[in-house]
């Protein structure tokens, strides 16, 4: 999995881990902050959330065009600085008046602009590492590793947000509303760490920091770069646009994690958990499970006795830690709504080696699905995730009726949401890293930055459409909310399978 990869991959992945930790720390509490601090309705908070995400994923298109001309490294540097300034603006405790509103809006604009310069261009740099024929065969696995690193940052983010808020409230006596700003401050620190990693290991990837022309000039294999005819270029761009059309609906469904799924966690899910179930609400326990999974894989893959011994010891220590944590359980633990957002990144990190092993085995047999086919399967799995939510919502009141019910309100087990995140993660692993790899591979060389930006434009549109579900959140039965998302995923799957031959032709 990790063998034979260029060192630049790990440096870029770790830099992205720091940035994503800050981003998801902020996102875990964002809609709750909007509703608590500014007394906004669910739909208004949803519109702001959707508009912000749309900007975050649209602006990489502009960032890609700029990077194609001025260089990827320059845009990434400006982006990191911009995001840091944006998180500082969110961290300022200005109350809930006009100044607070202006600071919040300005912070969102600066963060989205900085992300637009940073996110897509960093991924293009990763792809450029694999233009060298020596590494070309490892492109898909590289993006899986890169994607896993993103989610390591996201795994710890919800706990960081919740713990920082509780610490600020208990230690400094600040109000709940003011404590949100301390959590936003955590994001500022994470950006500093990201900068240190990026510049500390810059020499490992500096050769792919330039503009498209500069990278090709420095590449010793540039003479072997594939020359495309206008017809081939058009075919590739059309194929990418067809994929972009489909992923709009995936991100619309998937990014309900920060919106209606968070509302469900806050309004319909039990507020405490006990016994074995409660262990999954500790990020330390989840990390131990990850160590166990990777240790077990390494145990079977190690080619030396020493390697097997080390892997065995690590695996055993992870098991002993979990056994100790279970034996020390006492009573119940609180279940805060933001904490559910740790499950998607946990499942991504834990399941990445499993998915890579499965597809690696299929590849060796010549049966691995193409990247477009994986995307179609991902849409089907995403639809299944909302089937789980429909079942979970049977017998529950509408959101407005739930609020009016008071002590008579009904709550469900947190296992429903965790199960949904598990299914959506399977969909994500099929679609997102493979989609990014597909763009990196298929995009015409002179349009790489723009086409990676196109992926983010599609994501932006999908993220803006997340607000549609929040418009339904109120008097509508919950099954209408989840059913709408399910149907859209099924229609997108049907579309991509209908154009599969055209996509596989250029894959």
Q: What is the pLDDT of residues 348-399, one digit of tens each?
A: 889 888 887 888 788 888 888 888 899 999 999 999 999 999 999 999 999 9
Q: Which is it for the CA torsion 462, 467, 468, 469, positive or negative?
A: positive
What DSSP state is assigned to residue 447?
A: G
Residue entry with tokens 């075919």: 235
What is the average pLDDT across 238-260? 91
Question: Which of 168, 194, 165 minimizes the C-alpha distance to 84?
Answer: 194
Please tell me the distance from the alpha carbon of residue 236 to that of residue 250, in angstroms, as a whole number. 21
Cα–Cα distance for residue pair 72/448, rounded to 1 Å: 11
Tokens 């049966």 belong to 367
CATH of 7-205+230-271+335-506, one of 3.40.50.1220, 1.20.1250.20, 1.10.3720.10, 1.25.40.10: 1.20.1250.20
Which residue pairs from 294-299 have beta carbons closer than 8 angstroms and sit at least 24 positions apart in sequence? 294/353, 297/1, 297/353, 297/357
Is residue 135 within 8 A of residue 6, CB to CB? The reply is yes
411 within 8 A of 269, measured Cβ to Cβ = yes
- Whether 252 and 459 have beta carbons less than 8 Å apart is answered as no
Q: Taking all residues of the chain, what is their mean pLDDT, rounded to a whole number?
A: 89
pLDDT in tens, 168-189: 999 999 898 999 999 999 999 9
Q: Would you call 412 helix, strand, or coil by DSSP? A: strand
- Angle of helix 371-392 relative to helix 478-498, nearest 10 degrees? 160
Between 143 and 53, the more confident residue is 53
> Stretch 214-241: mean pLDDT, rounded?
71
223 pLDDT band, cuts 50/70/90, is: very low
* pLDDT tens per residue across span 442-495: 888 878 777 877 887 888 899 899 999 999 998 999 999 999 999 999 999 999
pLDDT at residue number 222:
46
Instruction: Find the mean pLDDT for residues 94-107.
Output: 94
Contact between 47 and 470 (Cβ < 8 Å): yes
Least-confidence region, from 210-214, 231-235, 402-406, 408-412: 210-214
- Predicted TM-score of the model (pTM): 0.81
Q: What does the pLDDT average to over 406-420?
A: 93
279-337 pLDDT per residue, tens: 999 999 999 999 999 999 888 888 888 889 999 999 999 999 999 999 999 999 999 99
d(CA 102, CA 301): 54
């Amino acid at each position: 999995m990790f063998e034979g990869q260029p060192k630049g991959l790990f440096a870029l992945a770790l830099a992205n881990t720091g940035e994503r930790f800050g981003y998801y720390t902020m996102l875990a509490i964002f809609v709750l902050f909007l509703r608590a601090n500014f007394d906004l309705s669910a739909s208004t908070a949803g519109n702001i959330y959707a508009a912000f995400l749309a900007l975050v994923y649209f602006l990489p298109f502009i960032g890609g065009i700029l990077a194609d001309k001025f260089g990827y490294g320059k845009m990434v540097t400006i982006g990191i600085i911009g995001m840091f300034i944006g998180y500082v603006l969110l961290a300022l405790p200005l109350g809930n008046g006009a100044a607070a509103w202006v600071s919040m809006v300005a912070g969102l604009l600066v963060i989205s602009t900085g992300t637009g310069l940073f996110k897509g261009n960093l991924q293009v740099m990763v792809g450029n590492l694999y233009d060298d024929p020596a590494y070309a065969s490892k492109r898909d696995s590289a993006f899986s590793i890169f994607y896993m690193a993103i989610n390591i940052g996201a795994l710890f983010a919800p706990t960081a947000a919740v713990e920082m808020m509780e610490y600020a409230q208990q230690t400094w006596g600040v109000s709940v509303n003011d404590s949100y700003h301390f959590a936003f401050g955590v994001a500022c620190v994470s950006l500093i760490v990201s900068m240190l990693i990026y510049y500390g290991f810059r020499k490992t990837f500096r050769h792919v920091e330039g503009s498209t022309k500069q990278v090709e000039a420095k590449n010793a294999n540039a003479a072997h770069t594939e020359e495309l005819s206008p017809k081939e270029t058009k075919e590739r761009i059309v194929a990418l646009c067809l994929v972009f059309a489909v992923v709009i609906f995936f991100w619309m469904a998937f990014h309900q994690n920060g919106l209606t799924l968070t509302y469900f966690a806050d309004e319909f899910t039990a507020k405490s958990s006990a016994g074995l179930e409660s262990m999954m609400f500790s990020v330390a326990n989840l990390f131990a499970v990850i160590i166990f999974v990777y240790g077990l894989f390494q145990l079977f893959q190690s080619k030396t006795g020493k390697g097997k011994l080390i892997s065995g010891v690590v695996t055993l220590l992870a098991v002993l830690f979990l056994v100790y944590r279970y034996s020390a359980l006492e009573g119940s633990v609180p279940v805060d709504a933001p904490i559910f957002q740790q499950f998607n990144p946990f499942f991504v990190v834990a399941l990445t080696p499993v998915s890579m092993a499965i597809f690696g085995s299929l590849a060796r047999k010549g049966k691995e699905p193409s990247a477009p086919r994986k995307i179609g399967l991902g849409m089907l799995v995403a639809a299944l995730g909302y089937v789980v939510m429909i079942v979970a919502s049977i017998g529950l009141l509408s959101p407005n009726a739930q609020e009016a019910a008071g002590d008579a309100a009904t709550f469900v087990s947190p296992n429903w949401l965790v199960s949904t995140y598990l299914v959506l993660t399977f969909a994500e692993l099929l679609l997102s890293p493979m989609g990014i790899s597909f763009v990196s591979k298929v995009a015409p060389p002179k349009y790489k930055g723009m086409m990676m930006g196109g992926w983010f434009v599609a994501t932006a549109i999908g993220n803006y459409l997340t607000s549609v579900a929040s418009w339904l959140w109120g008097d509508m039965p919950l099954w209408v909310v989840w059913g709408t998302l399910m149907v859209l995923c099924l229609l997108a799957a049907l579309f991509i399978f209908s154009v599969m031959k055209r996509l596989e032709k250029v894959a």
